[in-house]
C-alpha cells in the first residue's frame, strides 16, 4: 500500500487543477476502473501463464518491463509524462513490488487497491488532457 501512496503528494500539490466536475468524474472513474484491467492482465493472466514455463525471477522482471513500456504507449510517445526517467523508476519499483506481492499472496486485491491509490494520486486523466504536465511543471487550461 505504501507504493500506492507516493503519488498522493502530486494530488495534494495540484488539487486546484480540478476546475470542472467532469474532470473529477473522469479522474475518479479512471482510477477505479483502470487498475482492474491492468492488474488482471499484467499480474493475473500474463504472470500466471509465464510462471508455468519460466523461473519466478524472470517472470517478475519480464512482466515489469512490459508494464513499464506499456505506459509510454498508453500516455503517447510524444507525451511529456512518458519522457521522464522518474516515471520509469517509479513504474519499475511498483511493478516489481506488485509482482512479488502477487507471487506471495496469489491475490490481486491489495495490488488493485494500491493501483487505485496510485491512479488517484498521479493525475493520469489530467496528464492525458495536458492540463497537468508533470515533467515541465507547467499547467494548462482547457
Are 132 and 122 contacting, i.e. CB atoms less than 8 angstroms apart? no
Are 3 and 95 contacting, i.e. CB atoms less than 8 angstroms apart? no
Nearest Cα residue to 29 out of 141, 127, 119:
119
Report residue 13 as a C-alpha cell.
500539490
- The pLDDT assigned to 2 comes to 65
Q: What are the mean pLDDT values of the chain's consecutive 10-residue runs (142 residues total)?
A: 67 78 90 94 94 96 93 64 73 94 95 90 75 56 44
- The pLDDT assigned to 93 comes to 92
- The pLDDT assigned to 100 comes to 96
Report residue 38 as a C-alpha cell.
491492468
Residues paired with 132 in a beta bridge: 139
- The pLDDT assigned to 23 comes to 87
- The pLDDT assigned to 121 comes to 81
Residues paired with 133 in a beta bridge: 138
How far, in Å, CA of 47 to CA of 45, rounded? 6
For cell 525471477, the residue is 57
Domain boundaries, the chain: 2-15+43-139
- The pLDDT assigned to 140 comes to 44
Write down the pTM of the prediction.
0.80
CB < 8 Å & 24+ apart, contacts of 72-75: 75/127, 75/128
Q: Is 25 helix (H, G, I), strand (E, B) or coil?
A: helix
What values do phi and psi take at 134, rounded to 5? -60, -30
- The pLDDT assigned to 103 comes to 95
Amino acid at each position: 500500500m505504501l507504493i500506492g501512496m507516493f503519488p498522493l503528494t502530486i494530488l495534494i500539490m495540484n488539487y486546484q487543477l480540478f476546475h470542472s466536475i467532469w474532470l473529477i468524474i473522469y479522474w475518479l472513474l479512471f482510477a477505479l476502473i483502470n487498475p482492474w484491467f491492468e492488474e488482471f492482465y499484467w499480474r493475473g493472466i500474463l504472470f500466471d501463464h509465464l510462471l508455468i514455463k519460466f523461473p519466478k525471477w524472470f517472470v517478475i522482471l519480464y512482466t515489469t518491463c512490459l508494464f513499464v513500456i506499456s505506459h509510454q504507449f498508453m500516455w503517447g510517445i510524444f507525451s511529456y509524462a512518458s519522457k521522464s526517467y522518474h516515471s520509469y523508476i517509479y513504474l519499475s519499483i511498483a511493478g516489481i513490488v506488485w509482482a512479488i506481492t502477487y507471487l506471495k499472496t496469489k491475490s490481486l486485491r491489495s495490488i488493485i487497491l494500491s493501483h487505485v491509490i496510485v491512479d488517484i494520486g498521479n493525475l493520469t486523466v489530467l496528464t492525458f488532457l495536458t492540463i497537468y504536465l508533470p515533467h515541465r511543471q507547467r499547467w494548462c487550461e482547457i
